[in-house]
Structure 1
Amino acid sequence: MTLFNDNPNSINLSIEHTQFSHNLFHFIKQHVPHDQPTVILCIGTDRSTGDSLGPFVGHYLTHKPISKLHVYGTIDDPVHAKNLEETILHIHEQHFNPFIIAIDAALSNMKKVNSVETCLGSLTPGAAVRKDLPDVGHLSIKGYVNVSGFMDFSVLQNTRLSVVMNMAKQIAQALYYTDNHLKQHHSVFKLKGAQ
């Protein structure tokens, strides 16, 4: 089942829906600017299955032929609590006025598990395990990988890897469509400029 919020700046999608990647792409496409560098900031760690959503999205994206998206955070080089602030500074040094899409795993009630919430605005990394980290992102993607409640850190550690990997693949696919969309727009823009 696909859940659309009344708010046009937010969407919640079940990863079990057959059109998940296309629906997520269409939402992102409406909000991603064409005149700014687009940075995908994949937050999380490879040391916890539940918190590895971001690094897996980054991993899958870097194995696709992308050219317009700039990816930070992979399984081999994760962006986590200890290097997040440094990475944000580096992004702003490398890219002028970047539009940042921040991705992180999240915990919630049973109804939201296996769904992805995407909205305009930032997310707060590490909120599930009570870490004090800066809000980040112009658009945020939160993947609900498990149920919150007692001992959230342990819940993240014991989240099924297959759930995280499946969600990450589908988010990466939507972002790959986004890269193609940005490439097409850039090509049309260049063609018009040459006339």
Structure 2
Amino acid sequence: MINAIKQALANGFSYENYRKHVTELITKGLSTGHTQSEDLLKYSELNESRMNRLEKTIQVTDEVKAKLENLDKKYIWLVLSEGWCGDAAQILPVIHKMAEVAENVELKIALRDDNDTLMQHFLTNGGKAIPKLIVLDAETLEVVADWGPRPTGAKQLILDYKAAHGVVDEPAKITLQKWYLNDKGISIQNEIVEMHERVLS
């Protein structure tokens, strides 16, 4: 797996360059990933406006900020993502804001489809669900933890919806986006910090 990690870091993006890359593709009528479709392009465009809004509104809580500032080792947060992914659009701006206040955290974003070997190590129920945050020891590149693809509340919402309706359809996706909107990134922040605390304890 170490080679797959090294490859993902080598072909990965900073947050700013990831945003630029996705935007440039959209201007050409394309989405990220190895599959192209009108729907994926439409989702990518929708996610652009979501991320623009979240970058202006998301705040790291004082409690989370204090914990992130106290990390005493250097870590790389490597996130597997794609521009068309609705969950990634809600989660990446939060992770970005967290990494900004954490002196010992470097954020890298790698595209899922370009890093399939690595993705295979982090499947969710056998599927390539994203975003997936992989926490690496910056010195050794050892995987110390992983998180994703959704915070617990969002995960439960989708499980309950699927149990009731049998599918995850467009109304389900709208309900999920409303959940993220109301949560304001708090669950994501708390869960990632708690994960770090478990690793360090």
Q: Which has the higher strand share?
A: 1
The alignment's TM-score, normalised by the length of structure 2, stands at: 0.35
The alignment's TM-score, normalised by the length of structure 1, stands at: 0.36
* RCO comparison, higher one (Cα < 8 Å, 6+): 1
Q: Which has the higher helix share?
A: 2
